Amino acid sequence: NRKAALSPSEQSYFRPMINNLICPAIGNVRLLDVRAEHLQRVMAQAAGKSKSYQGKLVRLLHRLFADAFSSKLTMDDPSISIKPGGVPAQQKQSLTKEQVATLFAAIEGTRAEIFCALCYYAGLRSEEACGLTWDDVHLEADTPYLDISHTTTWPERGDGKWPCPTKTPSGVRKIPIHPELLRRLKAVPKSKKKNP
């Protein structure tokens, strides 16, 4: 009943948690009978997962049982005492200069070149890079910039959906264009500079 309030990516993220962790652990327990110890079984199934993943699972449990309690389907909220544990996330390694040079040498002249340049030089997420149009690219400004105000999403088993709002309000921003990205963008033939 609440999925309309979730983005397609949130729905596809939470669905496996419900189907693979929550339902197997407490699916046969009446909602009125669910206690904190039942939810600890759910958390036990996610014991090897990252702290971030467990945090999202706990937020999902809080959301589910807060809704159930406010709808008077339970006498209390058994999720209140549930806390995430989990394995700390490993430090992500940035590409070395040599790896960046190898990457761009391999994709030079392909459709992937501009996409990778947008992600690498402007720090865009893939959804943001795919959501750009040439109207968002201001090459002739005194300080050339990208106007990030929408994204593309991929609903489960569907084609890309565009335009979509940014993930959070802070995702709307203007990003100065790095000189190397500027060179690549200016090299795109005018015939290809069309909106999707």
Task: Return the pLDDT at 88.
Answer: 73
CB atoms within 10 A of CB 187: 10
- The answer, yes or no, to whether residue 166 has pLDDT greater than 90, is no
Query: What is the DSSP code string of 106-175?
Result: HHTTSTHHHHHHHHHHH---HHHHHH--GGGEESSSSS-EEEE--EEE--TTS--EEEE--SSGGG-EEE
**What is the pLDDT averaged over residues 21-39?**
92
- The answer, yes or no, to whether residue 84 has pLDDT greater than 70, is yes
CA–CA distance, 125 with 38 (Å, rounded to integer): 37
At 88-122, the pLDDT tens digits run 767 788 899 999 999 999 999 998 999 999 999 99
Among candidates 109, 106, 131, which has minimal Cα distance to 119? 131
The letter for the amino acid at 185 is L
CB atoms within 10 A of CB 1: 6
The CA-atom distances, in angstroms, between 40 and each of 9, 52, 53, 54, 112 are: 26, 17, 15, 12, 45
Tokens, residue 72: 């008077």
Counting residues of the chain whose pLDDT is more than 70, the rounded percentage is 88
- The answer, yes or no, to whether residue 157 has pLDDT greater than 60, is no
Q: Which residues contact 7 (CB under 8 A, 6 or more apart)?
A: 153, 164, 167
Direct distance between the N- and C-terminal alpha carbons of the chain, in angstroms, rounded to an integer: 34
